[in-house]
Amino acid sequence: MTLVAGVDSSTQSCKVVIRDADSGALVREGSATHPDGTEVDPQAWWLALQEALDRAGGLADVTALSIAGQQHGLVALDERGDVVRPALLWNDVRSADAARDLVTELGPGAWASATGSVPVASFTVTKLRWLAEHEPENAARVAAVALPHDWLTWRLSGARGLDTLVTDRSDASGTGYFDPVAGEYRRDLLALALGRDDVRLPRVLAPAESAGEGPDGVTLGAGCGDNAGAALGLGLRAGEVSVSVGTSGVVACVSDSPTHDRSGVVAGFADATGRYLPLACTLNGSRVLDAAGALLDVDHEELSRLALAAAPGAGGLVQVPYLVGERTPDLPGATGELHGMTLDNLTRANLARAAVEGLLCLLGSAITGMREHGVAVEAVTLLGGGARSEAVRRLAPAVWGLPVDLPAPAQYVADGAARQAAWVLTGASAPPVWERPATARMSAEATPEVMERYAAAAEAVAARYVENDHSMPDR
Ligand SMILES: Nc1ncnc2c1ncn2[C@@H]1O[C@H](COP(=O)(O)OP(=O)(O)O)[C@@H](O)[C@H]1O
Ligand SMILES: O=C(CO)[C@@H](O)[C@H](O)COP(=O)(O)O
């Protein structure tokens, strides 16, 4: 049996799956946690990767490996290959002003046609502008810029020199200085952000191209962004839509053609197979549930039980869950709000329900955003850690008014990376055919009034944010 490994180096943890390259059957797996925070020393990811690989039984009998990773994070390297400063992650919104300036300087239409996306604070390009403005000494030391998955692949390959850095088209498309249609970097946009363009960028490999050799002689794949990894792991076909409830919330769709949404709601990313992956991403995801559980002092199971014990609409309580600011809608400095409190409705069950409904409504607005920009959404496949919540699974079809397909909880991002690794071994024109995960379809009577009340509350939050001149709170 030929074994392949897939890694998901995500925001909160590192997960490894080891699968049979031919059938895709799961053989073993392991995971390790990442530190909290929106700036992280990449060394912590490296240590977590070693720990997760050990827990998954090591690489001695593994033939190929690919890494999928959280997108956008700025890993700035100096001439010796050392990190210049801790990485700034996709959910670090300190570059919100830089994003606004960059969009003003070029215009949203020009960004969308050049890169498929209008940059928000998550994008690497805005972090480079922030670095140039706020840490000029660090900015001057930058000799190469990598993304989390590029850096880990490079370390596994022996970190032999900046010229050996590689990436893939899916993750490059989230930088803000890559054109996914031409498959080329836009160094002019990098220079616009950093003030110079004499910086080495990872070579962009083809989907099934090898990135060289790693430990134990393992063949390395190019890797990919985590959302592209999930699409490959689920085996999403063109037109199929997924909703991931991880640290971020992501509505994504595999598409044969590129998108260029100048409103910025839909990011026009590439997928890991040569196609496209238009997606709408929220900054708030599973942690809305984590926070509600902590507030009510219950675990996830009890939070679900409480939420399902309350009536739809939580007795009038509406949570707008902008707990870490928000990206879709683009309100990086906003804070969360709880609306509609009365003596009667302020119960633990309603608080739990409002948290689950608030999260689902936020994701529902992202689904609406995708629809408004041309993506047909007839049903969605639900994944990510937050999809383990029974309340999320049961309430999603009602809040979204859509059938929801539930695959068994699994590491679909890591699975996609493993499938890419198997593809590198075949060198074929398409990834190996692995059985698609079986899904159970959940349907429910739609409760549009929940989304309507949420939309009114979210509008009030947005209006206040604009009135307050986009002030960023201390977090
Ligand atoms: N049963 C559950 N109900 C709700 N949330 C859960 C449950 N199990 C895990 N989570 C949450 O899922 C998140 C981790 O999901 P994951 O998709 O691995 O995130 P990421 O890929 O961003 O690191 C955590 O916030 C965790 O608390
Ligand atoms: O910023 C994005 C996509 O644009 C996020 O989806 C990150 O890629 C982080 O993913 P998770 O850790 O939440 O899976």
Give this complex's ipTM.
Answer: 0.99
**Which atom of ligand 2 lies closest to the CA of 12?**
12
CA of 96 to the centre of ligand 2 (A): 17
Residue to mutate, 175, 281, 288, 327, ligand 2, most ligand atoms under 8 Å from C-beta: 281
**Which residue, chain included where needed, has tokens 């990510």?**
384
Q: Is 71 annotated as a binding residue?
A: yes
**Which atom of ligand 1 lies closest to the CA of 384?**
17
The DSSP code sequence of 182-245 is TTEE-HHHHHHHHS----B--EEE-TT-EEEE-GGGPEEE--EEHHHHHHHHHTPPTT-EEEEE
CA of 227 to the centre of ligand 2 (A): 7
Contact 249, 366 (CB under 8 A): yes
Q: Is 411 annotated as a binding residue?
A: no
What does pTM read for this prediction? 0.97
Helical H runs in 339-447?
A: 348-372, 390-400, 412-426
Q: What 3-state DSSP class applies to 100?
A: helix
Q: Give the residue whose CA is nearest to atom 9 of ligand 2.
A: 70
Task: Provide the residue-wise pLDDT of the chain in tens; the chain has 475 residues.
Answer: 999 999 999 999 999 999 999 999 999 999 999 999 999 999 999 999 999 999 999 999 999 999 999 999 999 999 999 999 999 999 999 999 999 999 999 999 999 999 999 999 999 999 999 999 999 999 999 999 999 999 999 999 999 999 999 999 999 999 999 999 999 999 999 999 999 999 999 999 999 999 999 999 999 999 999 999 999 999 999 999 999 999 999 999 999 999 999 999 999 999 999 999 999 999 999 999 999 999 999 999 999 999 999 999 999 999 999 999 999 999 999 999 999 999 999 999 999 999 999 999 999 999 999 999 999 999 999 999 999 999 999 999 999 999 999 999 999 999 999 999 999 999 999 999 999 999 999 999 999 999 999 999 999 999 988 777 665 655 5
CA of 191 to the centre of ligand 1 (A): 37
* CB of 63 sitting under 6 A from ligand 1: no
pLDDT at 277: 98
Positions marked active-site? 226
CA of 245 to the centre of ligand 2 (A): 10
* CB of 300 sitting under 6 A from ligand 1: yes
* CB of 271 sitting under 6 A from ligand 1: no
Phi then psi for residue 144, to 5 deg, are -155, 150
pLDDT at 473: 58
**Which residue, chain included where needed, has tokens 């220079």?**
191
Q: Which two tokens stand for residue 202?
A: 């990872």
